[in-house]
């Protein structure tokens, strides 16, 4: 099972909005690497939901409820979306600052490629973040 980290500016689409909606399609991805990641997201996969710019923290976990299909906001079949639903809100958010102080998280996409909106996480990275969210 793979894990993922997806980013959104809370100004555009926040976790709170996500919870209100119950589920959402992750649309508007216009980056090939991010697109490739979307294509690999399997139903049931878990994704950390990160707020960029404002907050700069992981706020919750989403779950993939529908695998990729063509982005309805584009006519180009290259672009795809996935459907996700809120899975769990973190008790304690995990800030970028915390992540950066964790040697075990030095390699995650969020730090190494901060611009990528959908990045993959190793299982152990997922676990470390979970730990942080519970023990802050």
Partner DNA sequence: GCCAACGTTGGC
The residue ranges that bind DNA (CB under 7 A) are: 7, 9, 31-33, 52-53, 56, 96-97, 100, 110, 112-117
Q: How far is the CB of 28 from DNA (least distance, A)?
A: 8
Residue number, 2 or 33, with CB nearest to DNA: 33
Instruction: Give the span between the Cα atoms of 8 and 26, in whole angstroms.
Output: 10
In three-state form (DSSP H/G/I as H, E/B as E, the rest C), the secondary structure along 25-45 is ECCCCCCHHHHHHHHHCCCCC
Residue 8 neighbours by CB distance under 10 Å: 21
Q: How far is the CB of 111 from DNA (least distance, A)?
A: 8
Q: How far is the CB of 17 from DNA (least distance, A)?
A: 16
């Amino acid at each position: 099972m793979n894990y993922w980290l997806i980013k959104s500016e809370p100004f555009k689409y926040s976790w709170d909005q996500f919870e209100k909606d119950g589920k959402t399609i992750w649309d508007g991805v216009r980056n090939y690497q991010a697109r490739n990641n979307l294509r690999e997201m399997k139903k049931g996969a878990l994704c950390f939901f990160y707020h960029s710019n404002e907050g700069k923290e992981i706020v919750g976990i989403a779950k993939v409820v529908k695998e990729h299909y063509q982005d309805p906001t584009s006519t180009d079949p290259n672009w795809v979306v996935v459907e996700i639903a809120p899975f769990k809100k973190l008790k304690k958010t995990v800030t970028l600052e915390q992540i950066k102080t964790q040697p075990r998280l030095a390699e995650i996409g969020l730090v190494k490629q901060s611009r990528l909106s959908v990045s993959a996480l190793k299982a152990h990275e997922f676990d470390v973040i979970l730990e942080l969210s519970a023990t802050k």
